[in-house]
Structure 1
C-alpha cells in the first residue's frame, strides 16, 4: 500500500495490492486532524486558499467578463480565472474530508472532485502555453498577427485547450473509487486492475502537464526576449511580459513540489514513509495555492485590470455616497420646509 494525495489537501490513498474493502467496521475510527499540527496548518491554509481564490477569481471573472472590453488577452485571462474558480469551489469537499478523515460524499463526487484538480492543472498550463505562443506570434510576426488574431479564433483555441484538459483528466474519473478501510470510508486511487496504470498515469501527467508545456513556454520566451532586445522594445512591452512571466513562475513553483513527490511515490519503498506522506500533503497544498495567486497577479501587476478595478469599485462607492448625500440633502430640505411652515403657523 502506498499513499497518493491526488486531490489537494485531503487523505486520498492509492492501493495497488489486493486489498479487500467491505462495509464491515472492525476499527472504531476517530479523527485526529484537529490535534495534529501539520493537518491543522494545512486546513487553515486551504481555508485561506478557498476564500482568496473563490472571491478573487470571481472578481477577475466579473471584470474580464463584464467590465472590460472583450479582447484576445481578456479571453485568455478569463478562461484562466474560470479554471481556478471551479477548482476553488470544490475545495470545501477536501476541507470537510480533512476534518472528518472520512469521505461522506459518495462515489460520484469522489470521481468529480479528483478530476477537477487535474482539469485545473491541465487547463491552466495549456492556457499559459497558448498565451506564450500568442505573445511569440505577436512579436515575431506582428503583421500576420494583426491580420489573423481575432476573438473567434481565440475562443476556438480556448475550447480546444479545455477539451484536451478534460481528456487528460479522465484517468481520475476512471481509477477513483470509494471503499471502507480501517474503520472509515476513503476516496482513493484504485490501480489494482493494471500493474502499470499507476506509473503510466503519473508519468503522462508529468510529461503532458509539466515538462512539454514548460519547454514550449521557455522556447517562446527566449525568442521573445531576443527579439525585443534587438528592436529595443523591452521597456515598452515590459508590463504584459512581467505579468505573463509571473503567472508562469507561479505555476512552476506551485506545481513542481507536487510532481516531485508524486514521482518519488512511485518508488515509495525507498523513502521514509513520514517524509513522503508529509511532502505529498505540502506539495498538494502548494498546488492549490496557485489558484488564488493568479487573480492577485492580475490585479496588482496588470495595468488594465488595475484600472478597471479602481474605476468599477470607486465609481460604485462614489455613486453610493452620492445617493446617500442626495438622500440626506432631500431629508434636510424637507425638514427645513416643515420647520419653516411650523414657524409661520406659530
Structure 2
C-alpha cells in the first residue's frame, strides 16, 4: 500500500500533468474490452499451446520457419495468459494486484508485442533471402545461427520494453461520481515523457518493422517476376496472412498512441488537445483488446491453412502443415536457383 499511497501523492487531481488515461476511464469501452478479452483468452491460450505442442512433440527436424512460428506461438500464448489480469481489471474497474504486478504485467505485454512483430519481420526477411539469395541462404543460414538471432531478439525486446516498466504505477483516481478506485496507469510527469514513450512504441513496434516487411515482399515479387516463377506456395500465403492480420488488429492501437502524442503538442486547455485526449481515453480499452486478438488469430489461420490434413492426420495436422511449408520452401529455393542458372 506504500507504493499506492506514494503514487496518489505524486498524481494529485490539481496536477497540471495528471493523466486520466487508464483503460477503465470509459464504461462502454471497458465493458466491450472485457468481453473481447474473455473471448481472446478462451481461444488464444489453448490454440497457442496446441501449436507449441505440435512443434515440440511432433516435429524433429525443425526448419527456420518452424522455429520462428514456435517462438511466435510462445510469445502469443504468454500474452494470452496475461489477459486474465486485464479481464479482472476491466470487469471490476480497479487494479487489485498491486504496484509490482502493475509494472510487471504491462512490461511483459510490451515485451511480447515487440517479440511478435519482430518474429513476423524475421519470417519476412528469411522468406526474402530464400527467394532472392537462395544459394547463400541454403549454405549460410543454419538452425544454430537462427537460434542465436532469436535469442538476440528476445534480449532486445526486453530492453526496449523498459519504458513501460518505468512509466507506470498504481494510483488512486476518482470518477465523476466521486467514487475512488485504484488504476494501473501511466505516470508521466512531463509532456516529453508521453511523446517519447508512445512515439517510441509505435515507431519501433509497428512503423519500422512494417517498412522492412513491405520492402521484403517488394523484393520477393520483383525476384519472382524476373525468374518467371509465379506459383504461390502455402508458406508464402501463410506468412503473408500473419503479417496482414497483425497489422489490421494493431493499427488502431498505434493510431491512439499517435493521438496521445499529438495531443501533447497542443497547449493545456486547447479544444484540439481536449478532443484528442477524449478520443484516446474512450478508445484505449477497445483498441488494446483488439490488439490482443492478433495473438489468438494465428492458430485460427494455421487451422484453415492445414484443414486439408485434418482427416488423414488428426491432431497431427498442424505438424504436417509446418512440415509441408518447410518442404515447399526447400523446393522453391531449388526452382529459383535452377531458373537463376538458366538466365545466366
**How many pairs were matched up?**
284
Contact 1:46 1:91 in 2 (8 A): yes
Equivalent residue runs for 1:76-115 within 5 Å: 76-115=68-107
Contact 1:243 1:302 in 2 (8 A): no
| Structure 1 residues 96 and 259: CA distance shift in structure 2, 3 A | same
Shift of 1:37: 4.7
Which protein has the larger Cα radius of gyration, Structure 1 or Structure 2? 1
Shift of 1:113: 1.0
Q: What does residue 112 of structure 2 align with?
A: 120
Shift of 1:140: 1.1
Q: What does residue 166 of structure 2 align with?
A: 174
Q: Structure 2: which 5+ runs fail to align?
A: 1-6, 14-23, 175-179, 264-272, 318-344
Q: Secondary structure at the match of 1:103?
A: coil
In the alignment, structure 1 residue 197 sits paired with structure 2 residue 193: yes
Q: Deviations 1:84-138 (Å, cap 9, x if unpaired)? A: 0010111011010111111110111101111122112111111111111111111
Q: Distance in 2 between matches of 1:52 and 1:230?
A: 42
| Structure 1 residues 65 and 106: CA distance shift in structure 2, 3 A | same
Q: What does residue 182 of structure 2 align with?
A: 185
Q: What does residue 65 of structure 2 align with?
A: 73
Shift of 1:158: 0.8
Give the TM-score of the pair, scaled to structure 1: 0.76
In the alignment, structure 1 residue 266 sits paired with structure 2 residue 270: no
Q: What does residue 289 of structure 2 align with?
A: 285
Shift of 1:178: 1.2
Quote the RMSD (CA, aligned, Å): 2.5
Equivalent residue runs for 1:298-313 within 5 Å: 298-301=302-305, 307=309, 311-313=313-315
Q: Secondary structure at the match of 1:102?
A: coil
Q: Which of the residues 20, 25, 30 maps onto 1:39?
A: 30
Contact 1:43 1:98 in 2 (8 A): yes
Contact 1:58 1:85 in 2 (8 A): yes
| Structure 1 residues 39 and 175: CA distance shift in structure 2, 3 A | closer
Q: Secondary structure at the match of 1:196?
A: helix
Q: What does residue 333 of structure 1 align with?
A: none
Contact 2:199 2:261 in 1 (8 A): no
Q: What does residue 215 of structure 2 align with?
A: 219
Give the TM-score of the pair, scaled to structure 2: 0.76
Q: Deviations 1:128-171 (Å, cap 9, x if unpaired)? A: 11111111111111111111121111111111111111111111
Contact 2:89 2:95 in 1 (8 A): yes
Shift of 1:216: 0.8
